[in-house]
Chain A
Amino acid sequence: GAVVSQHPSWVICKSGTSVKIECRSLDFQATTMFWYRQFPKQSLMLMATSNEGSKATYEQGVEKDKFLINHASLTLSTLTVTSAHPEDSSFYICSATASSSGNTIYFGEGSWLTVV
């Protein structure tokens, strides 16, 4: 079946630096991908909709200049956390829909970000 892959699985970065997380659809094309954030013991919260070839759509309260999203191809979306702070430490996970599989939603493995 369709697979969505995320990289890296976990990353530690220093405060003030930037970190990039990749989300790839391995065997299908995804014009739209979604980025979620999940704090410990909490639910998944939608951050933004990543649109291939155009600007991302951000949910209310999510800073677009801090969480840069680039969807340059039909199989890759990237999320860059800029000027990271400890409060950005979270589990980031992407999803994509495979129309070839009856519009099934596939999630990436998730990426643990720890900002120290």
Chain B
Amino acid sequence: GENVEQHPSTLSVQEGDSAVIKCTYSDSASNYFPWYKQELGKRPQLIIDIRSNVGEKKDQRIAVTLNKTAKHFSLHITETQPEDSAVYFCAAGFSGTASKLTFGTGTRLQVTL
């Protein structure tokens, strides 16, 4: 089955700096790679996703890159703000009507003033 690794487990950046979180996956058949932000005790919130037919996607301060050959993808947050502090999870799966996901281990991002 799919195996997703995520690094780093914790990340502390100063407000305004950039944050980068990296993930690798094992199943070359995976074609859908979402990123979630999760507050304590809440459901994961999709912040950005990318499908295997593109290499990069950007939405304001958030961008994701995908390298299918190397089987890794990364989340980039620019101009970080304190409200970006949360746990971020990457995931890999198949895009379709029954999409189960394999999640990475999570990254706790702390944005300090």
Contacts and interface: CB of A to CB of B under 8 A. Distances in A.
Interface of A: 31-32, 34, 42-46, 49, 91, 93, 95, 97, 99, 103-105, 107-110, 112
Contact of A46 (B41, B98, B102): B102
A51 to B, nearest CB: 9
A49 B100 contact: yes
Given A44-B44, A95-B99, 14 more contacts: A31-B98, A43-B105, A45-B103, A46-B100, A46-B102, A91-B41, A95-B101, A97-B98, A103-B96, A103-B97, A107-B43, A109-B42, A109-B43, A110-B41
Given A43-B103, A44-B103, A45-B103, A108 B97 contact: no
Nearest to B43: A107
Nearest to A48: B100
Given A42-B106, A44-B103, A110 B97 contact: no
B89 A32 contact: no
Interface of B: 34, 41-44, 46, 89, 95-106
Contacts, number: 51
Given A43-B89, A43-B103, A43-B106, A110 B42 contact: yes
A41 to B, nearest CB: 8
B7 to A, nearest CB: 13
11 contacts: A32-B98, A34-B101, A42-B106, A44-B101, A46-B101, A91-B41, A103-B95, A105-B34, A105-B99, A105-B101, A110-B42
A84 to B, nearest CB: 20
Contacts of B46: 104-105
B102 A97 contact: no
Contacts of A97: 96-99
Nearest to B4: A43
Contacts of A109: 42-43
